[in-house]
Amino acid sequence: MKQQTTCPYCGVGCGITAELSANRILSVSGDPQHPANRGRLCVKGSTLHETTAPEARLLLPSIEGRAVSWDTALDKVARQIRQAVDQHGAGSVAMYLSGQLLTEDYYVANKLMKGFLGSAHVDTNSRLCMASTVAGHKRAFGADAVPGCYEDLEIADLILLVGSNAAWNHPILYQRIQAAKQANPSLRVVVIDPRATASCDLADLHLQLQPGSDAALFNALLVYLADQGHVDHAFLLQHAEGFEQTLATARADTPDISIAATKTGLDNHDLTRFFRWFAATERTVSLFSQGVNQSSSGTDKVNSLINCHLATGRIGKPGSSPFSLTGQPNAMGGREVGGLANQLAAHMDFSPENVDRVQRFWNAPNMASEPGHKALELFNAVERGEIKVLWIMATNPLVSLPDTQLIRRALKRCELVIVSESMADTDTLQLADICLPASSWGEKYGTVTNSERCISRQRSLLPPPGEARHDWQIICEVAKRLGFAEAFNYPHPAAIFAEHAALSGFENAGKRCFDISGLSRLSQTEYDQLQPIQWPVTTDAPYGTQRLFSNGKFFTPSAKARLIPVSSQQPMQQLTDEAPLRLNTGRIRDQWHTMTRTGRTPTLFRHRAEPFIDLHPLDAATHALQDQDLARLENAQGQFIGRVRITPGQRPGEVFVPMHWTQSFSSEGRCNVLIESVADPISGQPESKQGAVRLSGVATAWHARLLTARHLSVNLRGYWARMPQQHAMGYALADSDWPESWSDWCLQHLGQRPDLSLQTQPNGQLRACALENGKLLWLLLVSPDKHFPDLKPLDRQFARSNLTALQQLNLLKSDQDSASGELICSCFQVDDPTIRAAIQSGCHSVEALGKALSCGTNCGSCIPELKALLAQEAEDVTH
């Protein structure tokens, strides 16, 4: 049987066709009907069915670590909330939600808190993600709305990628750009990013600017556009306001190209080229993402970019738009229901009229009338003891919020921490008093909205495992126990969606951009069968709306768009003698956030298996570091340890680390330990991309790889990183002291001495293993240097039940090894050495490699890396 649904990872929002058989997802593929992806899927999407295994799931509700019935857990949640409200007021209860909840989950959570308990302390991880864009949109358009659509990428003649590594993070959109470039050779792509990323593969120009200097760049562009006569005065006159003051502020901030060069670290020639291209290209789409948002001046950066679009009238037209790429699958849906503490519901704010309107619509007994705490303020209030009950849903704040120690202190201080979670092993669950098992992708039923305002259905394919329940059901059950049964008596998510849609149209009459009242009368069957549709959806526009603002009307009081005067700012986290390096953080191709799901899939672990530090060769030389050494980043807050990757793609003085590793996956691989809790004063979004650190080497006497049968609990010291394999659990290990006895070491750390005697290999390696009834328990490979063989053949031995004496002996021999290499193509599991060998034997193009090895022929996410290998090999030949 086949079922259509939507991918739960990035904001591209690809449609999926799942193939099902009795309670199992056999395979997933791209839905050819879905407008976002038209049949394509990236590697994360295509491995979704591998993440649904019940073994890794949270299956039962528990209180203080003891499994309890749902009734016991829900009664306790409701009782404690009631007690906190009675004793300390509604403001002592808070929720911290997530852009990975479905719209229906989000809607009822917000309604319960803001309308029925009377607490506006409801914020979401979208604060860390899209808050600066929300604030920037509202300032410019009077509404939080993405003006364009994906099709604009196929129409544009110039595409900017500003602070976006779309090749890895929005792969299917990136492939649409790639295809557009092939079809339209005059299409130019400009990447604006302090790092050379995989997205630079398509770039005609890469502006490797100084971190945080985007506003200076766009201010200088605005001045250039004005001075060179490229401003659309007719548009400005009729449809926008604030141009003169904005231009004057831009001129005072960054008056010319040479000052722009000083502020951004770019050279005059590149700046001029970029400015000329922008000035000359009517059809320009500016995609932007976290390099813009996650900044202490993120809102200003967003507006500095939108200013250039408004000044040239490039908005609401085919192929012309500023375009925020949303991160999470339902970042947009969360904004629609009012998941942010400073929004109410259906894009309404806390103005007295809106509070009154929503109160009447909900018939709410305890309407919150003031905005609540934004995420960082919220956790500060928790730490101060003001919040007595905190309910965290579908997010892992102990990993993703800045200043991990502060978050830990806050959660420890809080009287009751409730965590609704799908997976069993997350860092935040460790600090929960009550754990509530939630259904997950493949089980859930509801809607999500992607980056282009397209609402799609997630459909349930399987029943939830164990006793897991849907988030909306859990919230409604608590609401009923609090005495609000009538308002939370939904038989089905369709009823929640209908109410949400009706609220969006309630007393709207064209005043609010977000209006899906055209969907408020769907029957349950129509909801079940709902096809992707872009909001607004009203009786006037029943089939959805591709582009907004085409009529030149905006949602400000004057109906004109606003240009916002912006002065460029330096990052708040300052470089000092103790912390002289700029710390940039972000994503890798094959992992999703805190790895709770993608970290279950060995396939996704081979691209980058350990936490790492990207470093320029000059910085490596200054610190006497070699590629693959272990190094430490530290500052007054904490430390991070990862593998050095030397790359000329970094600017000197700047390091990049991934945001993904957690306490469950590594000894010291959490990057937010190093990020200070500082935020944009307008949006409240943390400055996650501009930390300050110092770097040093980590002394190591040995390195090891450990494979263990899954049930074995290991007790590790020193450096470790978990790297799941197909049959065994893998670890990278290292430490500074060579043990006097490895046999003792094994006893102490692995619970038993080796069965097979340790052997010293010719290359100085040691190997040991333990067996039980002919089955491998663990296998340890120790090396004084950092070189290890491919673990796959060794991992396969864990699937065997009767290893012969000869096979056991072979495990300890290095002459059986095959060379290891980083995985490049995850879809077909093709690694670096295999690709290099193919290039050396005559495959000199991506197509030839695809023909020979299949790499790059499925999802295409590895094509930039294939091209880089081709270039490297060609360079090696010429030298």
Ligand X SMILES: Nc1nc2c(c(=O)[nH]1)N[C@H]1C(S)=C(S)[C@@H](COP(=O)(O)OP(=O)(O)OC[C@H]3O[C@@H](n4cnc5c(=O)[nH]c(N)nc54)[C@H](O)[C@@H]3O)O[C@H]1N2
From 12-20, 98-106, 295-303, 823-831, span contacting ligand SF4 (CB under 6 A): 12-20
Q: How many CB atoms lie within 10 A of CB 558?
A: 11
Of Mo ion, ligand SF4, ligand X, none, which one does residue 390 interact with (CB within 5 to 8 Å by kind)?
none
Query: What is the contact mask toward ligand SF4 in residues 132 to 171, using x (rule: CB under 6 A)?
Result: ---------------------------------------x
User: With binding defined as CB under 6 A, does residue 168 bind ligand X?
Assistant: yes
| C-beta of 604 vs 733, nearer to ligand X | 604
Select 129 or 768, whichever has its Cβ closest to Mo ion. Answer: 129
Told to check if 4 binds ligand X by CB under 6 A, we report: no
Of the pair 91, 446, the CB lying nearest ligand X is at: 446
Pick from 18, 25, 28, 42 the residue near ligand SF4 by CB under 6 A: 42
Own/partner pairs for 727-732, CB < 8 Å, 24+ apart?
727/795, 727/796, 727/798, 727/799, 728/776, 728/778, 728/779, 728/795, 728/798, 730/705, 730/706, 730/791, 730/795, 731/704, 731/705, 731/706, 731/707, 732/609, 732/610, 732/703, 732/704, 732/705
Length of the chain: 879
Q: Rounded to an integer, what distance in angstroms lies between the CA atom of residue 714 and that of residue 708?
A: 8
How far lies 362's CA from each of 144, 213, 486, 507, 524, in Å? 23, 45, 11, 13, 21
User: Which token pair is 828?
Assistant: 């077909």
Of the candidate residues 18, 25, 28, 41, the single one contacting ligand SF4 (CB under 6 A): 41
Question: Token pair 């394999």 is at which residue?
Answer: 725
Q: Bridge partners of 347?
A: none
- Shortest Cβ contact with ligand SF4: which residue? 45
Q: Are 534 and 522 in contact (CB under 8 A)?
A: no
When the beta carbons of 314 and 589 are compared against ligand SF4, the nearer one is 589
- Contact pattern from residue 314 through residue 333 relative to ligand X, giving x for each residue in contact according to CB under 6 A and a dash for the rest: -------------xx-----
457 binds ligand SF4 (CB under 6 A): no
Q: Which does 12 bind (CB under 5 to 8 A by kind): ligand SF4, ligand X, Mo ion, none?
A: ligand SF4
- Going by their DSSP bridges, the two strands 766-772 and 775-783 should be labelled as antiparallel
The answer to whether residue 177 forms part of the interface with ligand SF4 (CB under 6 A) is no
User: Is 457 one of the binding residues for ligand X (CB under 6 A)?
Assistant: no
State the number of CA atoms in the 13 A half-sphere of 128 facing the CB: 27
Shortest CB 180 distance to Mo ion, Å: 25
Query: 163 in the Ramachandran plot: left (φ > 0), alpha (ψ -120 to 50) or beta?
Result: left
CA angle 467, 471, 473 (to 5 degrees): 80
Q: Which is nearer to ligand X, 440 or 725 (CB)?
A: 440
Residues of span 641-700 touching ligand X by CB under 6 A: 659, 671-672, 675, 688-689
Of the two residues 590 and 735, which places its CB atom closer to ligand X in the complex? 590
Q: Which of residues 113-142 bind Mo ion (CB under 5 A)?
A: 129
Number of residues that bind ligand X (CB under 6 A): 59
What's the closest the beta carbon of residue 657 comes to Mo ion, in angstroms? Answer: 17
The answer to whether 277 and 188 have CB atoms below 8 angstroms apart is yes
Convert residues 299-338 into a mask of x (bound to Mo ion by CB under 5 A) and - (unbound): ----------------------------x-----------
Q: Give the pair of three-digit tokens for residue 858.
A: 């499925």
Contact call for residue 7 and ligand SF4 (CB under 6 A):
yes
Partner whose binding site includes residue 289, from Mo ion, ligand X, ligand SF4, none (CB under 5 to 8 Å by kind):
ligand X
Is residue 423 a contact point for ligand X (CB under 6 A)?
yes
Site string for Mo ion, 481-520 (x = CB under 5 A): ----------------------------------------
Count CA atoms closer than 13 A to 575's CA, side-chain side. Answer: 13
Which of 17, 133, 312, 395 is the binder for ligand X (CB under 6 A)?
Answer: 395
113 belongs to the binding site for ligand SF4 (CB under 6 A): no
**Phi, psi for 143 (deg, rounded to 5):** -155, 150
Footprint on residues 278-297 left by ligand X (CB under 6 A): 289-291, 294
> Which one, of 286, 71, 319, lies nearest residue 192 by Cα?
286
Which of 4, 5, 31, 45: binder of ligand SF4 (CB under 6 A)? 45
Least CB distance from residue 44 to ligand SF4, whole Å?
Answer: 4
Q: Does 274 bind ligand SF4 (CB under 6 A)?
A: no
When the beta carbons of 469 and 587 are compared against Mo ion, the nearer one is 587
Could you say which of 388, 481, 593, 703 contacts ligand X (CB under 6 A)? 593
| Helix or strand holding residue 757 (H, E) | strand 756-760
Q: Does 331 bind ligand SF4 (CB under 6 A)?
A: no
The single residue among 61, 91, 147, 211 that binds ligand X, judged by CB under 6 A, is 211
Helix/strand/coil for 767: strand
Q: How many angstroms separate the Cα of 472 from the Cα of each of 113, 244, 418, 489, 490?
A: 13, 49, 15, 11, 9
Q: Give the other-Cβ count within 10 Å of 369's Cβ.
A: 13
Residues 386, 388: Cα–Cα separation, whole Å = 6
Strand, coil or helix: 823: strand
720 contributes a contact to ligand SF4 by CB under 6 A? no
Instruction: Sort strands 612-615 and 638-646 into parallel, antiparallel or unpaired.
Output: parallel
Helix residue ranges, H only, 433-557: 471-481, 493-505, 524-528
User: Would you count residue 103 as binding ligand X (CB under 6 A)?
Assistant: no
Give residues with Cβ within 8 angstroms of 590, minimum separation 6: 43, 44, 598, 603, 604, 605, 607, 608, 826
Reported as type and span, the H/E element at residue 876 is helix 863-878
Within 13 Å, how many C-alpha atoms sit on residue 325's CB side? 30
**Cβ 827 to ligand SF4 shortest distance, Å:** 12
Q: Is residue 401 involved in binding Mo ion (CB under 5 A)? A: no
C-alpha distances out from residue 643 to 614, 633, 668, 680, 790, Å? 8, 11, 11, 31, 18
Contacting positions for ligand X (CB under 6 A): 10, 98, 100, 125, 128-129, 162-165, 168-169, 192-195, 197, 211-212, 214, 289-291, 294, 327-328, 393-397, 399-400, 420-423, 426, 438, 440, 444, 471, 584-587, 589, 591-594, 596-597, 659, 671-672, 675, 688-689
Contacting positions for Mo ion (CB under 5 A): 129, 327
Contacting positions for ligand SF4 (CB under 6 A): 7, 9-10, 12-14, 37, 41-42, 44-45, 171-172
